Amino acid sequence: MGRQADEQADERTGGQAGTGAGEKDPLVIFTPSGRRGRFPKGTPVLTAARRLGVDLDSVCGGRGICSRCQVQPGKGEFPKFGVTVAEDALSPVNDVEARYDRIRGLAPGRRLGCQALIEGDVVIDVPPESQVHRQVVRKRAEAREITLDPALRLLYVEVAEPDMHEPSGDLQRLTAALAEQWGIEDAALDFALLPELQKILRTGEWKVTAALWQPDEATRPRIVALWPGIHAEGLYGLAIDLGSTTIAAHLCDLASGEVVASAGVMNPQIRFGEDLMSRVSYAMMNEGGAAEMTAAVREGLCGLIGDVAREAGIGSERILEAVIVCNPVMHHLFLGIDPYELGQAPFALATSDAIDLSAADLALAPALPAPARIHMLPCIAGHVGADAAAVTLSEAPEKSEDLVLVVDVGTNAEIQLGSRRHGVLACSSPTGPAFEGAQISSGQRAAPGAIERVRIDPATKEPRFKVIGCDLWSDDPGFAAATAATGVTGICGSGIIELVAEMRMAGLVDASGLIGTAEQTGSPRCFSDGRTQSYLVWEDGESRITVTNRDIREIQMAKAALYSGARLLMDKLGVDHVERIVLAGAFGAHISPLHAMVIGMIPDCPLEKVTSAGNAAGTGARIALLDRKARAEIRETVKRITKVETAIEPRFQEHFVNASAMPNAVDPFPILRAIQPLPDVSFNTGGGGGDGTGSGRRRRRRSARDS
Q: Looking at the predicted structure, is the pLDDT value of residue 252 above 70? A: yes
Last residue of a domain, one of 228, 246, 280: 228
Q: Is 642 within a domain?
A: yes
pLDDT at 444: 86
What pLDDT digit, counting tens, does each position of 433-462 carry?
Answer: 777 777 889 988 788 999 999 999 999 999
Q: Looking at the predicted structure, is the pLDDT value of residue 131 above 50? A: yes
544 forms beta bridges with 539
Averaged confidence pLDDT in the chain: 88
Lowest mean pLDDT among 432-436, 517-521, 599-603, 630-634: 432-436
Would you say the C-alpha torsion 623, 625, 631, 634 has a positive or negative sign?
positive
**What's the CA gap between 512 and 55, in Å, rounded?**
33
What pLDDT digit, counting tens, does each position of 363-401 carry?
Answer: 999 999 999 999 999 999 888 999 999 999 999 999 999
Cα distances (angstroms) measured from residue 185 to each of 85, 166, 230? 58, 21, 22
Mean per-residue pLDDT for 249-276?
A: 90
Lowest mean pLDDT among 102-111, 128-137, 649-658: 128-137
**What's the CA gap between 303 and 41, in Å, rounded?**
35
Q: CA torsion 330→333→336→340, rounded to 10°?
A: 120
Same domain, 180 and 219: yes
Question: How many domains are contained in the chain?
Answer: 4
Band (575; pLDDT cuts 50, 70, 90) = very high
pLDDT at 13: 39
Last residue of a domain, one of 173, 197, 228: 228
Q: Looking at the predicted structure, is the pLDDT value of residue 357 above 80? A: yes
Per DSSP (E only), the strands in 353-476 are 355-358, 373-376, 404-408, 413-419, 423-429, 450-456, 463-467
Same domain, 306 and 209: no
Same domain, 406 and 369: no
Last residue of a domain, one of 228, 262, 278: 228
Same domain, 202 and 106: no
**What's the CA gap between 109 and 102, in Å, rounded?**
14
Would you say the C-alpha torsion 419, 424, 430, 436 has a positive or negative sign?
positive
Spatial neighbors of 173 by CB under 8 A, at least 6 apart, are 159, 160, 162
Band (542; pLDDT cuts 50, 70, 90) = confident
pLDDT at 640: 95
- Beta-sheet pairing, 111-112 with 526-529: unpaired
120 forms beta bridges with none
Classify residue 316 by its DSSP letter. G
pLDDT at 132: 64
Would you say the C-alpha torsion 503, 505, 508, 512 has a positive or negative sign?
positive
pLDDT at 135: 52
Q: Exposed, middle or buried, 216 (CB in 10 Å: 0-12/13-18/19+)?
A: exposed
**What's the CA gap between 338 and 182, in Å, rounded?**
43
Band (186; pLDDT cuts 50, 70, 90) = very high
Give the CATH number for residue 281: 3.30.420.480
Mean per-residue pLDDT for 539-565?
A: 92
Tell me which H or E stretch contains 83.
Answer: strand 83-85
Same domain, 208 and 274: no
**Residue (of 651, 641, 638, 597) closest to 418 by Cα position:** 641
Same domain, 376 and 406: no
DSSP codes, 45-59: HHHHHHHHT-----S
Give the CATH number for residue 17: 3.10.20.30
**What's the CA gap between 487 and 483, in Å, rounded?**
5
Contacts of 472-477 with CB under 8 Å at 24 or more apart are 474/538
Same domain, 8 and 76: yes
pLDDT at 245: 83
Q: Is 504 within a domain?
A: no
Q: CA torsion 456→461→467→473, rounded to 10°?
A: -80
Same domain, 15 and 125: yes
pLDDT at 588: 77
**What's the CA gap between 615 and 593, in Å, rounded?**
17
What pLDDT digit, counting tens, does each position of 76-104 carry?
Answer: 999 888 899 999 999 999 999 998 888 88
Q: Looking at the predicted structure, is the pLDDT value of residue 503 above 80? A: yes
Report helix, strand or coil for 32. Answer: coil
**Residue span of the structural domain in which 201 resides:** 152-228
Q: Looking at the predicted structure, is the pLDDT value of residue 6 above 60? A: no
Lowest mean pLDDT among 75-84, 129-138, 601-610, 658-667: 129-138
Q: Is 639 within a domain?
A: yes
What pLDDT digit, counting tens, does each position of 622-674 carry?
Answer: 999 999 999 999 999 999 999 998 888 889 999 999 999 999 999 999 999 99
pLDDT at 541: 77
pLDDT at 22: 60
Same domain, 126 and 169: no
Q: Is the peptide bond before 663 cis (omega within 30 degrees of 0)?
A: yes
Band (198; pLDDT cuts 50, 70, 90) = very high
Left, alpha or beta for 22 (phi > 0: left; psi -120 to 50: alpha)? beta
pLDDT at 582: 95
Band (561; pLDDT cuts 50, 70, 90) = very high
Same domain, 54 and 180: no
pTM tops 0.75, yes or no: yes
pLDDT at 704: 31
Q: Is 619 within a domain?
A: yes
Report helix, strand or coil for 121. Answer: coil
Contact 268, 427 (CB under 8 A): no
Same domain, 7 and 76: yes
Neighbours of 103 (CB within 10 A): 7
Contact 400, 424 (CB under 8 A): no
What pLDDT digit, counting tens, does each position of 413-426 carry?
Answer: 899 999 999 999 99
Band (134; pLDDT cuts 50, 70, 90) = low
End-to-end CA distance of the chain: 23
Same domain, 417 and 559: yes
Q: CA torsion 182→187→190→194, rounded to 10°?
A: 80
pLDDT at 434: 77
Strand ranges of the sheet holding 450-456, from the earlier edge strand across to the other edge: 463-467, 450-456, 490-491
Q: Is 462 within a domain?
A: no
Q: Is 192 within a domain?
A: yes
Provide the CB-side half-sphere exposure for 541 (13 A, CA): 2
Give the CATH number for residue 160: 3.10.20.880
Q: Is 427 within a domain?
A: yes
**What's the CA gap between 621 and 627, in Å, rounded?**
10
What amino acid is encoded at 91 in this protein? Answer: S
Q: Looking at the predicted structure, is the pLDDT value of residue 201 above 60? A: yes
How many contiguous H segments (helices) and E segments (strands) does the chain have? Answer: 19, 29
Spatial neighbors of 231 by CB under 8 A, at least 6 apart, are 154, 156, 209
**What's the CA gap between 396 and 415, in Å, rounded?**
13
Q: Is 465 within a domain?
A: no
Spatial neighbors of 420 by CB under 8 A, at least 6 apart, are 398, 399, 400, 401
Q: Looking at the predicted structure, is the pLDDT value of residue 19 above 70? A: no
**Residue (of 607, 601, 605) closest to 670 by Cα position:** 605
